[in-house]
Amino acid sequence: MCNIVDKQFYLLASKLHDKHSLKETEIRICILTLLNCSSEQMAELLYKSPTSIGTLKRRVAHKLETTSAEMRSHLIENVCIR
């Protein structure tokens, strides 16, 4: 089971990096967004302030050409499915 999860994580991270030139922390934000983590949870997991997470989410959303509010749906429709 872990091998499947590892493989899917790697494929998703590769897609995000290749298609959108996202950095490692930005990829983590995307994955945590897909897992439906709150900004507070992300801040705790990534050892950052909630304000920093908000800034990161806006930056990632801009690179994905969407909004922070629509980022999860955008990732599901445009990155995970294809």
Task: State how far the Cα of 52 lies from the Cα of 8, in Å rounded to an integer.
Answer: 27
In a domain, 11, yes or no: no
**For each of the chain's 82 residues, which pLDDT tens digit applies?**
567 777 878 888 888 888 889 999 999 999 999 999 999 999 999 999 999 999 999 999 999 999 999 999 999 998 876 5
Domains identified in the chain, total number: 1
Write down the pLDDT at residue 82. Answer: 55
In a domain, 34, yes or no: yes
In a domain, 72, yes or no: yes
* CATH number, residue 49: 1.10.10
In a domain, 4, yes or no: no
Contact 81, 73 (CB under 8 A): no
Question: At 42, which amino acid appears?
Answer: M
Say what the pTM is. 0.86
Rounded to the nearest 5 degrees, what angle is found at the Cα of 64, between the Cα atoms of 73 and 38? 50
Q: Which domain holds residue 75?
A: 22-80
